[in-house]
C-alpha cells in the first residue's frame, strides 16, 4: 500500500515528541520501513531507527531524518495543530510542537524509501535509512554512533540529508564548505545575597547583575568580533526569584553561541566569562559566577566535491532556477557526526517549505523577517504541497546520484 504523505505528515505534526521520547514516531518509521520489505533495527541510541535496503553490489548511501520536536506551544490554527504536552528533562510540564519541521523530514524519508524500493531495477548498492532522535539537544547522532550504529548497519560511503527551512516551497538550497554553524550552550549563574524587596540596600541583587550582564553581552559581537567574522550570541533564558517582594540569591542566564571558526568561538566563550565576572565584581558579589558549557554541535562542513556533484544532480532534476546557494546558515545540526564517525563526506541541504507568496509580499514591502515564520516559531507551518513531494524527490535524486 502506498504511503499517504499528507496523512503521515499531519499525523506526525499532531503528535510531536520531545528528544529521546520519540517512541510513537520511531514506531511509525519502523513499521513504515518493514511494510516496504526493508530490514529494520530499532532502539539505537535509545529511540533511533535504521533500515537497510540492500540491492546488489555497489556504494552504500545513508539518508537521515531527525524525529524530535520542541517545547513550544503551537499557534498556527491548523486543523492538525499539536495540543500535546510532555514532561521535559527537568520535570516541567511543557507544550510540544514540531516547530522545526522534523515531521517533514520523517515523512519525506519514508516517501524516499518507498520510491527507492519501487525503482530497484534502476540502481544497485545499499541504502541505509536513519531516523535519528534528539537532534534538538545535539546528542542524538552521537548516541546512535556510541550505541553501535555502524556495527548494526553497513558503514556508508556518503551521508545525505535535508532540513526544511523558511524558503519558498519547491526550492532546494545547498552550500559547499562550512554550511551550518557550530553552537555552544553556556549557563551562567550569578550569585548575590537575597533579602526583602523593601530593603535592597541590605542585599546584593542578582537580578540587576543579570540585567547588566545581558546588556553587556551584546557588545561581544558588535565590539569584539571583526566585521569579516561571524558570531551570534543569544540570551535565551533568564531565571531568578520566586516572589515579587523577595530579592533572590541567584540569577541564571542561558546563552547560545553560533560560530564557524574555533578561534572566534574561544574568544566568545572567554568574553562571556570575563563579562560575567566583571559585572559580579562591580556588584560586589560574594563570589564569582559559575560558568558551564552544555550542549555543543560542531560546524557542519559539506564536502566541496561531493556537494558539487549533488548540485549537478539537483539541477538536472529540478532545473537550475530551483537550486540555490543559501550561503552559510547560522543554525546548527548534529548530522555531521554520522559522517565524521564513518570517515566519509556529507552533503546536507535546505528544503524550501513555505508559501512562495509570503516571500513575494515580504520582498515587495521590506517585511520579509516579520512576515515569514522561522524554524522554532510557534507559527512555523510548512506548506504541505509541494514541500513533501520536493523533499522526497531530493532525497531520491541525491541517493541515486551516488548509487550504482
d(CA 399, CA 393): 10
Grid cell for residue 189 = 549563574
When computed from its CA atoms, the radius of gyration of the chain, rounded to whole angstroms, is 23
Helix H or strand E encompassing 40: strand 39-44
Which string of DSSP letters, residue by residue, matches 20-36? Answer: T--HHHHHHHHHHHHHT
Q: Among 203, 139, 46, which Cα is nearest to 335's?
A: 139
Cα–Cα distances (Å) from 182 to 26, 170, 231, in that order, read 27, 27, 10
Sorted by sequence, the CB contacts under 8 Å of residue 32 that are 6+ apart come out as 3, 8, 110, 113
Grid cell for residue 210 = 543579570
User: For 87, phi and psi rounded to 5 degrees?
Assistant: -100, 120
Q: Do residues 236 and 214 make contact, with C-beta atoms less than 8 angstroms apart?
A: no
Sign of the CA dihedral running 200, 204, 210, 211: positive
Binding-site residues for Mn(2+): 100, 102, 136, 163
Q: Please tell me whether the peptide bond between 386 and the residue prior to it is cis, using omega within 30 degrees of 0.
A: yes
d(CA 327, CA 343): 25
Binding-site residues: 100, 102, 136, 163
d(CA 379, CA 390): 22
Grid cell for residue 144 = 546512535
Amino acid at each position: 500500500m502506498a504511503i499517504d504523505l499528507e496523512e503521515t505528515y499531519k499525523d506526525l505534526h499532531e503528535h510531536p515528541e520531545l528528544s529521546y521520547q520519540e517512541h510513537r514516531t520511531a514506531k511509525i518509521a519502523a513499521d513504515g520501513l518493514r511494510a516496504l520489505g526493508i530490514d529494520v533495527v530499532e532502539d539505537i541510541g535509545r529511540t533511533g531507527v535504521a533500515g537497510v535496503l540492500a540491492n546488489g553490489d555497489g556504494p552504500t548511501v545513508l539518508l537521515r531524518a531527525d524525529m524530535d520536536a520542541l517545547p513550544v506551544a503551537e499557534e498556527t490554527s491548523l486543523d492538525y495543530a499539536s495540543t500535546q504536552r510532555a514532561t521535559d528533562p527537568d520535570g516541567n510540564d511543557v507544550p510540544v510542537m514540531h516547530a522545526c519541521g522534523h515531521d517533514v523530514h520523517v515523512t519525506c524519508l519514508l516517501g524516499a524509501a518507498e520510491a527507492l524500493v519501487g525503482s530497484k531495477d534502476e540502481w544497485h548498492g545499499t541504502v541505509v535509512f536513519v531516523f535519528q532522535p534528539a537532534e534538538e539537544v545535539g546528542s542524538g547522532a552521537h548516541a546512535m554512533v556510541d550505541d553501535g550504529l555502524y556495527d548494526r548497519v553497513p558503514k556508508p560511503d556518503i551521508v545525505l540529508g535535508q532540513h526544511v527551512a523558511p524558503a519558498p516551497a519547491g526550492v532546494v538550497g545547498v552550500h559547499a564548505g562550512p554550511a551550518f554553524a557550530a553552537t555552544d550552550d553556556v549557563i551562567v549563574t550569578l550569585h548575590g545575597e537575597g533579602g526583602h524587596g523593601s530593603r535592597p540596600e541590605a542585599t546584593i541583587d542578582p537580578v540587576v547583575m543579570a540585567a547588566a550582564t545581558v546588556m553587556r553581552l551584546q557588545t561581544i559581537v558588535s565590539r569584539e568580533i571583526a566585521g569579516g567574522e561571524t558570531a551570534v550570541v543569544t540570551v535565551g533564558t533568564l531565571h531568578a526569584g520566586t516572589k515579587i517582594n523577595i530579592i533572590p540569591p541567584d540569577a541564571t542566564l542561558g546563552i547560545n553561541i553560533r560560530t564557524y571558526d574555533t578561534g572566534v568561538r574561544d574568544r566568545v566563550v572567554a568574553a562571556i566569562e570575563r563579562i560575567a565576572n566583571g559585572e559580579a565584581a562591580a556588584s560586589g558579589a560574594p563570589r564569582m559566577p559559575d560558568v558551564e558549557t552544555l550542549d555543543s554541535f560542531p560546524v557542519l562542513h559539506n564536502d566541496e566535491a561531493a556537494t558539487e556533484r549533488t548540485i549537478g544532480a539537483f539541477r538536472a532534476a529540478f532545473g537550475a532556477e530551483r537550486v540555490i546557494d543559501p550561503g552559510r546558515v547560522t543554525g546548527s545540526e548534529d548530522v555531521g557526526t554520522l559522517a565524521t564517525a564513518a570517515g566519509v563526506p556529507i552533503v546536507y541541504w535546505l528544503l524550501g517549505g513555505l508559501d512562495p507568496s509570503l516571500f513575494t509580499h515580504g520582498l515587495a514591502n521590506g517585511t520579509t523577517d516579520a512576515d515569514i515564520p522561522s524554524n522554532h516559531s510557534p507559527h512555523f507551518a510548512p506548506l504541505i504541497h509541494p514541500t513533501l513531494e520536493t523533499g522526497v524527490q531530493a532525497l531520491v535524486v541525491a541517493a541515486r546520484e551516488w548509487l550504482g
